Structure formats: structure tokens, C-alpha cells
Amino acid sequence: MNDPQTDPRKLPKDAHPAVAASNAAMLAALPFEDRQDYEDASRGFIETLPDATVTNAQGRVVWTLKPYGFLSSDSAPPTVNPSLWRQSQLNMNHGLFEVCDRVYQVRGLDIANMTLIEGDTGVIVIDTLTSTEGARAGLELYFKHRGRRPVTAVIYTHTHTDHWGGARGVLSDEDISSGRVPIIAPNLFMEFAVSENVIAGNAMLRRAQYQFGPFIPRGTRGQVDCGLGKSMAAGTVALVAPTDLVMATGDKRMIDGLEFVFQMAPESEAPAEFHFYLPQLKVLNMAENATHNFHNLLPFRGSEVRNALAWSGYLSEALQMWGDDAEVLVGQHHWPVWGKARVQTHLKQQRDLYKFVHDQTLRMINHGMTASEIAEAIRMPESLEGAWHTRGYYGHVRHNVKAIYQRTLGWYDSNPAHLDPLPPVALGKGLLAYMGGAERVLAKARDDFAAGEFRIVAEVLNHVVFAEPHNEPARLLLADTYEQLGYASESATWRNAYLFGAQELRHGMPKVPSRSPISNDTVRALHTGQLFEYLGVRLNGPKAEGKTIILNWEFTDSGDRLVLNLENCALTHMSGHAADADATLTLDRKAFNELVLQTSTMSDAMKVGKVRAVGDASRFDELMTLMDDFERMFEIVEPRTRGERA
């Protein structure tokens, strides 16, 4: 038997002639002679770390750009879309950069940027990257060139982890406990920062592997970028709660001698997000809503669909409020834009990008077209097609159209054939029977692959793999097909998804250690009601058939009184006290967190005095036996082997 690591059938292949031709056509079609972004991405460079390498206290590398040295080549190889190659090169700029007087950025030490603004007495930190280690390394690099000075404020522009996870790298324990350093964030920050990825968090983590490609080898036949930056950082992540919430557009804060004017942008790139303007410096920070690509309206990892119409509206409002004055536009990804006229053009094109795609999708919806038909038909206007910052490196127009359709009409296109389709395995087996069996399908698929018809080959062979997951020729041909689709993709996330699908078909799922379904930091950050909702998602409904459990909870530290009710196979909660409860449990939140994390049982907690109970406290332990544990890894490009949990 061939070694899977050296088996030529399972190694990455060359670009198919059809893919090479497609990439060559894009090279001829787009204005690659425009080098302005290359100048801007390197402008103001001061110094960097060797290969942008960041290590933790144990010496383990949590971030490095060393594996991306292959991007130094001027020309894209046939296995990488040349437009994506360009973006990947631009995202290689890393280190400390001077944006303008008193404004600096750390770029390339994470997927996101850390912006540093010098106040009268110290430095104001805008977004703290993903990890403590990355944030600390970036701040130390700044101190090396600008002198050590106190952090006088931290601002989180929005709720995604790569913008707050490294807070402890710029804040000391004393900064946090004393409240000396204000931590400013948009309204509802905590609610969304801790809940957006909790209820479906396990599935999102697995799906994010397809979006970002962390397990794909770096190289010309592998992962080259994520569109927004290189990849997600490893390292220590901790959420430090904000101390000051901005509530409305026009709200102002005087921070270390500088006036900040805020604009709220909820339901845009994040459910809670804001922009701000610094009148004294004429600098406009647009967070993640006007970066150098078309953003995601629905990321592959999953989320609520973002509001393209509102997004465009916020860009229009920012242009109206500050377009006549702003001389520099910075974002929390990518590089800045300098010059009033260029800032205006950038904002106008970004505004019109989201509005055009929204309106044209709705126009075609009202002609009765389906999501896939609209994605096939939509064409960007020339003025947007030729602007590099509107390209779909992260959120391609063809999947953003489908997100708008989903937000507007939902998943169902009104064709009754799609109302109650068979699940993948049953559908695959049925279609194979209709098509005369796997061998006939494979013969036709090989012909279509040779002709470069990769989309239909992917569609058909996906059914074969779900019908016959051990059919090695089908798996390998589907892997080759996904690979070619990845090589042709301008979108980094599309490339990562295709290439990771190919890798899993060839070699199986990566072997990764199991993990707790929810982290200690997240448990501490969630309010008690959210923890009850999380337990409701873990409840295995069939196991709970016929059971009724009612528990009163009294929290000594907060004074909260809540009732947790299991009935009709659903777990609900409400405030107050139930007279017919099985037990009343008195404890503090720390003890409750331990129960939820299952680092302690109710009986153990009672023995050491962490919980006082009136009634039958064992009903809680009984409730916890009804909870599912979620496997970190599950099959995506083939049938699930573990089956439904009952």
C-alpha cells in the first residue's frame, strides 16, 4: 500500500490547462500596472520583527510569516489566481508603521491591525489583536521607537476576537482592577462578543478551518492568504470587559487630550461595531467596514447574515459627516488611504459596492430569480470591477449575493422540489441508482474533468462520495477537482475551502486534541441567562423524554433569583422562584461556573460548602447526564461516521 504522504495520487497536482488559462486571462484583464497599493502598504515603515515571528512564554511560535517566503516572486504561479497573489503579497507587509503625526499601526503580526494614537500623556490602543503575545510584541515594538509611555485608553471597534483577544498584552492586572484605563466599546459589545460564537460555537470552529485554512500547508499549491490578512493567530486569548459603552452616533469622548467622535454601525461587519473620527488629526477610522476588499456578508464559519443595505448606509453617513475633512482613512485590517480626494473615492466605491450588490440582488429576486441564478448573472459595473479594494478576496460577490437572498427570503426558493429534499447520503445513493452506478458516473466525470468542467464534476462526485464514502477513485477525483477550483479562486476563503476539502478527501480529518465545549473565560463573561441558554443547546432532547426537573437558583453575589425548568424536552428559564421546584440552590457565580464546566459535581460542591440546597439537589446532576458533549472535529466532505446522537 502506498504511503499516504508520498502516494502520488494524494499529492497536490499542477494547474489544469483550463485553470492556467483562466488565471492568465485575469492577469490580462485587471490593472496590474497600478502599484499604488504597494506604495501605500509599505509607506511609513519603521521596523519589524524577524519574519514577524511571535512566541509565547514557553517559546512556542504563535505567529510567523516565515512560511510565506514563496510570495516574494513577482509573478503568480499557475496554481494561484494572480489577483489573489497580489493581495497576498500586500498582506506580507509587517511591523510598525507611521500613518501620520501621532498615529501608528502594527500590521502583519496578526490577521488584524493594532492602531496606536499618541495622546498628551500616553498612547491610546485601538484593537488589541487576537492574542496576548501578539499585542505585547506589537506594543513593545512601538515603545522601542516612540519611548515607553502609559496606555491611557483601549478601544475595541467591534466584537470579533481578533480585535479584543490580546487585551492583556497591553493592560496590566493593576490597569484592569483599578479601572485606571478606560476600555471603550460599542453598545451591546459584551452581549455579542461572548454570545455570537457560543450557541453554535463548536460548529463554527470546525467550519472556520475551511474559511482560514490553518491545516493547509503554506505554499503555491496550498494556503496563501485569508484576504483580510495571512491567517488567524494562535496564543493566549482573554476578554477584558469594556468599562465605557458608546451608545449613539455623534457621541464624543475626550481621551488623553484628543477628541473622538463616534459613529455607530450595528449589523454591519459585526453585530456591534463603530467608527470614529479625530478632528485634531483629521484621521477617520472605519474599523472593518471599508477595508481593501469586498467583505463577507455571511462568512463560511457561519453567523447571522450581515445587513448590506445598512452597511452601505453607514459608509454614506461617514462620507457625509467627515468626507470633506478627513485626510487619512485607517482600518483595522490592511493599509491606510491618504489624501482627501482618495479617501472620498474609497468611501464612495465601498458604499456603492454594498448598495449595488444589495439592490441588484433584490431587483433580480423580484424577477423571480433564485440565489444561484442571481450569483451567476450579476456583473459588477466597470468602475467597481477595476478598483482593487472592491475585489472579493474575503467576501466574493457570488456568495454575498446568496447571503442577501438568504437574509431577504430565507433558504427556500419556493420550488417544491427543494422544500423537503433528501439528506446527502440518501440523495447520493438515489442519484447513483438513477445514473447507472458509480463506475458510469466516474467515467463521465473523468471526461468532464479533462475538459475543465470542474463545477459539474464537483457536484456529481460529491453525491458519489456521500453514497460510497470508501470509493477511493471517486474521493481522489473529487479532491483533484476541488484543488483546481481552489487554484482558480480569487477569493482567499474560497481557495482555502476548496483546498482543505481536497486535503480531507485525500488524508482524512486532521488529528487535533479534544477541547472543552466552552472556555473558562467565556463562561465567566456570559451572564447567567446566557449560560442557561447554552445548556439548553447541549440538552439531548430524546434523552430528556418524559422528564421534568425544576430548580431554583439564588446567587449570593448578584442577588439574582432564577428558575431553570426542564419540561417537554426543552430547557427554559425565567426570573423568580418556583414553589414546586425540586430544589432551591444557593451559591455564587464562581461555583455555578464550575458546575457548568463540569469541573465539579453538585454533590462535591455541597460537600465543600460552595452550594447550599433545600430539596433534592441531585436532580441537577441528573440534568447534566442529559447533556451532549460536542466533538471538535466532524465530517464535512463525506458522511458523518458517528451518526446522530440519540
Tell me how far CA of residue 181 lies from CA of 133, 276, 277, in angstroms.
20, 19, 21
Gap between the Cα atoms of 195 and 236, Å rounded: 19
**Which residue ranges form the domains of the chain, and what is each CATH number?**
1-30+421-512 (1.25.40.880), 31-385 (3.60.15.30), 520-624 (3.30.1050.10)
* Residue appearing with cell numbers 458516473: 441
Q: pLDDT tens-digit profile of 220-270?
A: 999 999 999 999 899 999 999 999 999 999 999 999 999 999 999 999 999
Euclidean distance between CA atoms 240 and 66, whole angstroms: 31
CA distance 594 to 586: 14
pLDDT of residue 646 exceeding 50, the answer is no
Band of residue 645 on the pLDDT scale cut at 50, 70, 90 = very low
* pLDDT digit string, tens, across residues 84-132: 999 999 999 999 999 999 999 999 999 999 999 999 999 999 999 999 9
Q: What pLDDT was estimated at residue 632? A: 85
User: What is the rounded CA–CA span in Å between residue 320 and residue 133?
Assistant: 39
- Does residue 517 have a pLDDT over 70? no
Helix axes 308-322, 340-365, angle to 10 degrees: 150
Looking from the CA of 598 toward its CB, the CA atoms found within 13 Å total: 15
Cβ-proximal residues to 447 (8 Å cutoff; 6+ apart), any chain: none
In angstroms, the CA 381 to CA 383 distance is 5
pLDDT value of position 196:
83
Does residue 195 surpass a pLDDT of 90? no
Strands 252-255 and 258-264: antiparallel
Span 484-513, pLDDT tens digits: 999 999 999 999 999 999 999 999 999 887
Over residues 185-205, the mean pLDDT reads: 90
Mean pLDDT for 189-195 is 90
Give the CA distances from residue 322 to residues 58, 279, 319, 347, in Å, rounded to whole numbers and listed in that order.
46, 9, 5, 11
Strand 103-107 and strand 54-55: the pairing is unpaired
- Phi-psi group of 168: left, alpha or beta (phi > 0 → left; psi -120 to 50 → alpha; rest → beta): alpha
What tens digit of pLDDT does each residue of 336-349 get?
Answer: 999 999 999 999 99
Q: In the numeric block, which cell numbers belong to residue 409?
A: 427570503
Residues 6+ apart with CB under 8 A from 21: none
Which helix or strand (DSSP H or E) is residue 506 part of?
helix 492-507
- 372-391 residue pLDDT tens: 999 999 999 999 999 999 99
Cα–Cα distance, 436 to 423 (Å, whole number): 20
Cβ atoms 293, 227 nearer than 8 A:
yes
Q: What is the pLDDT of residues 258-291, one digit of tens each?
A: 999 999 999 999 999 999 999 999 999 999 999 9
DSSP string of 44-80, one letter each residue? TEEE--GGG-EE-TTS-EEE--GGGGGGGSSSPPTTS
In the three-class reduction of DSSP (H, G, I as helix; E, B as strand; rest coil), residue 163 is classed as: helix
Average pLDDT, the chain: 95
The reported pLDDT for the residue numbered 431 is 96
Q: What is the DSSP letter of 199?
A: T
Phi, then psi, of 116 in degrees rounded to 5:
-120, 120
Contact present, 395 and 297 (Cβ < 8 Å): yes
641 — pLDDT class (breaks 50, 70, 90): confident
Q: H/E/C letters for each residue in 319-369?
A: HHHHCCCCCEEECCCCCCEECHHHHHHHHHHHHHHHHHHHHHHHHHHCCCC
Amino acid at 276: F
- The model carries a pTM of 0.95
Question: pLDDT tens digits, residue range 392-402?
Answer: 999 999 999 99
Question: How far is it, in rounded angstroms, from Cα 204 to Cα 232?
Answer: 14
Is the pLDDT score of 543 beyond 70?
A: yes
Mean pLDDT score, 322-339: 98
> pLDDT value at position 415?
94
Q: How confident is the model at residue 642 (pLDDT cuts 50, 70, 90)?
A: low
> Under a CB-based contact definition with an 8 Å cutoff, are residues 317 and 309 in contact?
no
- Cα 445 from Cα 425, distance rounded (Å): 19
Q: Which helix (H) or strand (E) holds 594?
A: helix 589-597
Classify the C-alpha dihedral 242-245-246-251 as positive or negative.
negative
| CA pair distance 263, 342, nearest whole angstrom | 21
Strand, coil or helix: 184: strand
Residue whose cell numbers read 467515467: 443
